[in-house]
Amino acid sequence: MTVHAHAQAEVFISKNSSLPIARVIAQSNGAGACELWEQPLKPNDVIPMHYHLVEETITFSSGRIKVTLDGVDYEIDADRDGTSSVLIPTRLHHEIRNIGDTATSMLAFFPAVRPEIFPVR
């Protein structure tokens, strides 16, 4: 077993959102078939519409977030309802927006290494 501190994770800037993403679990630290990303979101930050070739699970432990899945909006209020997760099927177009007054972060799990981000423009 290996423990990985999120603060020490490799960070890259998303070409889709221009926001930082930390690769907490990745091939570089021993993963063979999955990745876990952590992404901070300040109020009004948006991860624009995009999709992946693998499914994605996103978890929010705090904040108010609007998730748009294939044109349908869902509001998550993790401050009120507690930690909440969204399962996003393969190739489903999705967008994420922090609609709250405070910063939050999300954890994104992928059953693949180096999942690609495909912007929808």
Rounded mean pLDDT of 15-36? 95
| Per-residue model confidence as pLDDT tens digits over 95-120 | 999 999 999 999 999 999 999 999 99
Domains of the chain: which residue ranges? 9-119
Task: Extract the tokens encoding 86.
Answer: 């969204």
| Per-residue model confidence as pLDDT tens digits over 35-64 | 999 999 999 999 999 999 999 999 999 999
Class of domain 9-119 (CATH, top level)? mainly beta
Q: Are 35 and 26 in contact (CB under 8 A)?
A: yes
| Per-residue model confidence as pLDDT tens digits over 69-102 | 999 999 999 999 999 999 999 999 999 999 999 9
